[in-house]
């Protein structure tokens, strides 16, 4: 009898209460999505090239941003970190729609942005996001991201009245970078390297890979056919010539060639250019990497840590982008956050 009662209670919960909870969450999500779409006086649209489908879709900007935040930042992160990501993503999209940043007009077949994370911002559909999170987290996480977008509706980041290029990455390894130390070009005053505390608590902080020296030599020759060694020991032929302020490798000499740290990262598919090499007892080379990404602009893991420390999304953005203000449709809101 006791087992029968427990079974009946379980079935009631399964059949009645869980569906009710799902319906309630669905209603909340619909309201959040409606708020995100309707919260601006004149809803903006953006042309998005769906890279996997090879087609252009016109989207409501705020609706598009929900998919960007869902793809770019773990939904388990703090709300203020998600809000910071939403504002950065909106600024990114607006800068490219206005042709201030980005590549040629043909890069996305005429669209403003694409969904290829290697080129623009990542983006996923609601269906894909909810499937990824699973039944018990999907509604909660989607609702959370809708809220992050709607509560920052229309807000963008500017420097001296101009929309910035709000670069961001997963984990800086403890210190972000000056933009010119990563890419050739003019230094941006708002993209300055800063200490990024708390990042060592995230799984993205540290990785190690081990290569045979023969394999490394092969990859280097594929990169530059003129590559030669005067010694059989590759490790002894590797010289680090210059580091950035964030401790990333900028310049190297390997045998008879010079190579950028960013190129070395690409050749060996490292998570960042902040790496150290050591020779193991069996002659193999260990590469220990700190951080994940180019290291310029906002660290997403750093943003989550700062949010846990009580920083608002505005505080987070102003920490990683120096000297900026937040604006909404031309109205300065810098002092209100």
Q: How far apart are CA 273 and CA 293, in angstroms?
A: 8
77 close to 301: Cβ distance less than 8 angstroms = no
Task: Say whether pLDDT at 12 is over 80.
Answer: no
> Distance between CA 317 and CA 298 in Å, rounded?
7
Phi and psi, residue 78, nearest 5°: -60, 150
In this prediction, residue 118 carries a pLDDT of 86
3-state SS assignment for residue 121? coil
Query: Does 332 have pLDDT greater than 80?
Result: no
Q: List all residues 6 or more positions away from 195 whose beta carbon is below 8 Å from its beta carbon.
A: 174, 175
- Segment 120-153, tens digit of pLDDT: 999 999 999 999 999 899 999 999 999 999 999 9
pLDDT digits (tens, 9 = 90+) for 148-206: 999 999 999 999 999 999 999 999 999 999 999 999 888 999 999 999 999 999 999 99
Is pLDDT of 20 > 90? no
- What is the average pLDDT score of the chain? 88
For residue 94, give the H/E element and its range: helix 79-97
Which residue ranges make up each domain of the chain? Answer: 45-165+302-336, 206-290
Across 75-89, 92-106, 276-290, least confident range: 92-106
Per-residue pLDDT, 314:
98
Q: Interior CA angle at 255 toward 254 and 259, to 5°?
A: 35
pLDDT, tens only, 224-237:
999 999 888 999 99
Asked whether residue 337 carries a pLDDT value surpassing 70, the answer given is no
Answer for the pair 143, 66: CB distance below 8 angstroms, yes or no.
no
Q: Are 279 and 211 in contact (CB under 8 A)?
A: no
pLDDT at residue 130, rounded to an integer: 94
pLDDT of residue 334 exceeding 50, the answer is no
| Residues 50 and 108 sit within 8 Å (Cβ to Cβ) | no
pLDDT for position 6: 57
Mean pLDDT of the region 17-29: 47
Backbone angles phi, psi at 259, to 5 degrees: -145, 145
Q: What three-state secondary structure class fits 116?
A: coil
Mean pLDDT of 206-234: 95
pLDDT at 27 over 80: no
pTM equals: 0.84
Residue 31's pLDDT is what?
52
Mark out the alpha helices in 108-259 (DSSP H runs). Answer: 126-133, 135-150, 179-182, 213-223
- Rounded to an integer, what distance in angstroms lies between the CA atom of residue 141 and that of residue 73? 11
CB 181 within 8 A of CB 250: yes
Judged by DSSP in three states, 336 sits in helix
Q: Are 176 and 295 in contact (CB under 8 A)?
A: yes
What is the rounded distance in angstroms from the CA atom of residue 68 to the CA atom of residue 62? 10
State residue 203 phi and psi, 5-degree precision: -65, -25
What span, in angstroms and rounded, lies between the C-alpha atoms of 265 and 249?
9
Residue 110's pLDDT band (boundaries 50, 70, 90)? confident
pLDDT above 50: residue 16: no
**Residues 235/277, Cβ–Cβ less than 8 Å:** yes
Q: Name the least confident of 98-107, 207-216, 318-327.
A: 98-107
pLDDT at 290 over 70: yes
CA distance 171 to 302: 7
């Amino acid at each position: 009898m006791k087992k029968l009662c427990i079974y009946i209670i379980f079935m009631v919960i399964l059949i009645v209460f869980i569906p009710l909870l799902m319906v309630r969450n669905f209603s909340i999500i619909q309201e959040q999505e409606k708020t995100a779409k309707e919260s601006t006086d004149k809803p903006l649209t953006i042309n998005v090239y769906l890279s996997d489908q090879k087609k252009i879709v016109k989207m409501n900007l705020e609706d598009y941003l929900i998919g960007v935040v869902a793809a770019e930042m773990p939904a388990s992160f703090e709300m203020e970190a998600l809000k910071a990501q939403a504002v950065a993503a909106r600024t990114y999209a607006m800068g490219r729609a206005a042709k201030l940043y980005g590549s040629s007009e043909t890069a996305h077949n005429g669209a403003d942005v694409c969904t290829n994370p290697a080129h623009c911002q990542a983006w996923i559909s609601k269906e894909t996001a909810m499937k990824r999170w699973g039944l018990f987290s999907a509604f909660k996480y989607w609702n959370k991201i809708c809220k992050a977008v709607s509560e920052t509706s229309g807000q963008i980041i500017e420097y001296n009245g101009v929309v910035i290029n709000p670069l961001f990455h997963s984990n800086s390894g403890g210190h972000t970078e000056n933009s010119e130390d990563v890419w050739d070009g003019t230094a941006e005053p708002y993209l300055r390297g800063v200490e990024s505390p708390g990042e060592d608590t995230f799984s993205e902080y540290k990785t190690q890979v081990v290569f045979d020296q023969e394999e490394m030599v092969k990859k280097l020759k594929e990169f530059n056919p003129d590559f030669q060694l005067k010694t059989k020991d590759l490790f002894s032929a590797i010289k680090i010539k210059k580091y950035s302020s964030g401790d990333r490798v900028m310049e190297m000499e390997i045998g008879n060639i010079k190579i950028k740290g960013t190129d070395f990262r690409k050749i060996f598919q490292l998570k960042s250019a902040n790496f150290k090499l050591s020779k193991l007892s069996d002659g193999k080379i260990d590469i220990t990497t700190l951080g994940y990404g180019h290291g310029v602009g906002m660290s997403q893991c750093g943003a989550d840590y700062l949010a846990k420390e009580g920083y608002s999304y505005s505080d987070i953005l102003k920490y990683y982008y120096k000297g900026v203000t937040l604006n909404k449709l031309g109205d300065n809101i810098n002092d209100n956050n």
